[in-house]
Amino acid sequence: MQFFNLGESFIQMVKTLYNDINSSVKMCNGMSSRFCIRRGIHQGCPIAPLIFILSTQVLALLIEQSPLKGITIGDRDIKNFQLADDTIQTLFVDNKFEIAHAFKAVQTFSKYSGLCLNLNKCELFSLKDDDLKLLISLLKKTITYLGIVISKNQKNRSEQNYMDIINKIQKRFNIWFGLVWFGWLSIHGRVLLSKAEGLSRAAYMFPSLEVPKSTTDLLDRRLFNIIWTKKAHLVRKDVLKKDLSHGGLNVLDFTTLNQIIKINWIKNCLKNPSCVWYAIPNLMFNKLGGLNFLLKCPYKISKLPIKLSAFHQQSLLNWLLIYKHNFSPHRFLLWTMNIFPLTRKPYFLSRYSERVYILFSIYLTKMVFCFLFPSSAPRKETSVQKHNFWYSDATLSIDHSIYTEGIDTLDTKCNNQHIKYSIQKTCYLNTPTYISNIRGHLIWALPHKYVINNKI
């Protein structure tokens, strides 16, 4: 604390809390005898995690000042990640010769702090096939980090992560199935059960991994089976997913949950462009004009000129579900992925992105193109405009805000409920016109108001 210059008064307060302290251990038959604590921190003390973070911050500074090279992402050098409450230290090294520098930095910290490195719990994961015979005991083909299995094989990674979740969800459903089968739980209780025992267990994996369609289909089948007690489904799934005011039961399935989480990932990437967790995706999206520009374009994943991971592809596809209604010749940029293809591949010209005009009845020749854009226009770029230009009498105003259903995506009003509503409006059937005038929010609320079961 003196190293961080926290002040003498604060240091004295912490010393007061840790002066002549003793503890006891709770056991099956009672409490153990009390013993003095001469080193370490209190277990369960509110300030203990914060004090431990201060000590591990010294290790982080030591690693940053060490000759360890780390990995470079764009203009950012990344050497380590820390999760203090689990005391996990993740070091990034550029090659096998940097491993010695990493161990030396940790050993220096252990010498003066007393916190030693447990080699039995250390794992080494190589992104490339390299000769690491000296560290064969630490080298792993798959590692588990924060509960997620990391592997270079995409197929095995999905199976290893989701099969355990699927089995746990099914096991919990089987425990409750006795109550469900004998009718001790109403259909509203079964919907609540599907959320508490099903969705909550998969919500941790979805923000970090792509979810194969086969996985969501399997989970959805088991979710609706517990709602209908493995009997015939009497109501369409699309109807059950609607709100109570629209005749549904407000069911949230795994497919919709995955879509909401992936769209929220895009929102967070827009809100925190400088965050280290979004350094790699932003580096890729900047090749296409940036994520803000890309989201307003009618892109096709298969035609993007860069290779995206399955997670990023799934996020962009889910974004199109709630934003595709905004695509029109007057509302999106011309310099996009599909308007001007070059050798059957879309391309992005960064020097033209901020000077876009939509002209009326003008054939875009090289002369007109050079007049609008005074910078030298290569023949390769101007030739592809032929027979590919959109005509309109309106001008396009470039707005960096992105709206979904009239609400700014970065606004707090664009919450999970709004995203779910946007998805349902796009994917599910609308109310027929001959009953659109019925006040559904009053009619469908009658069973809840007067406690009428579904058999009446």
Asked if residue 376 is part of any domain, the answer here is no
Q: What is the mean pLDDT of residues 225-249?
A: 85
Q: How many CA atoms lie within 13 A of 26 on its CB side?
A: 2
pLDDT score, position 17: 78
Asked if residue 14 is part of any domain, the answer here is yes
Q: Tell whether 233 and 329 lie within a shared domain.
A: no
Q: Tell whether 273 and 342 lie within a shared domain.
A: yes
Q: Tell whether 71 and 97 lie within a shared domain.
A: yes
Asked if residue 8 is part of any domain, the answer here is yes
Q: Tell whether 296 and 410 lie within a shared domain.
A: yes
Q: Tell whether 3 and 106 lie within a shared domain.
A: no
Residue 142's CB is within 10 A of a number of other CB atoms, namely 14
- Decide which of 124 and 400 is more confident: 124
pLDDT score, position 206: 92
Domains: count for the chain: 4
pLDDT score, position 359: 35
pLDDT score, position 428: 66
Confidence at 451, pLDDT banded by 50, 70, 90: low
Looking up tokens 């252990």 gives 110
Asked if residue 289 is part of any domain, the answer here is yes
Nearest CA-CA partner of 259 in 418, 149, 408, 413: 418
Asked if residue 112 is part of any domain, the answer here is yes
pLDDT score, position 392: 38
Q: Tell whether 200 and 342 lie within a shared domain.
A: no
In the predicted model, is pLDDT for residue 455 greater than 50? Answer: no
pLDDT score, position 442: 67
Q: What is the mean pLDDT of residues 266-294?
A: 86
- Decide which of 311 and 374 is more confident: 311
**Residues paired with residue 23 on neighbouring β-strands, in sequence order:** 35
Asked if residue 290 is part of any domain, the answer here is yes
Q: Tell whether 183 and 292 lie within a shared domain.
A: no
| Cα–Cα distance measured from residue 96 to residue 81, given in angstroms and rounded to the nearest whole number | 19
Containing structural domain, residue 175? 149-252
pLDDT score, position 59: 79
Confidence at 432, pLDDT banded by 50, 70, 90: low
pLDDT > 70: what percent of the chain? Answer: 70
In the predicted model, is pLDDT for residue 382 greater than 60? Answer: no
Q: Tell whether 115 and 153 lie within a shared domain.
A: no
Lowest mean pLDDT among 9-18, 206-215, 387-396: 387-396
Domain end, chosen from 97, 117, 140, is at 140
Asked if residue 238 is part of any domain, the answer here is yes
Looking up tokens 């991994």 gives 209
| Cα–Cα distance measured from residue 442 to residue 345, given in angstroms and rounded to the nearest whole number | 53
Q: Tell whether 240 and 338 lie within a shared domain.
A: no
pLDDT score, position 267: 93
Q: Tell whether 277 and 417 lie within a shared domain.
A: yes
Q: What is the mean pLDDT of residues 242-259?
A: 87
In the predicted model, is pLDDT for residue 378 greater than 70? Answer: no
Q: Tell whether 107 and 134 lie within a shared domain.
A: yes
Q: Tell whether 288 and 424 lie within a shared domain.
A: yes
The overall average pLDDT reported for the chain is 75
Nearest CA-CA partner of 389 in 406, 366, 423: 366
Asked if residue 382 is part of any domain, the answer here is no
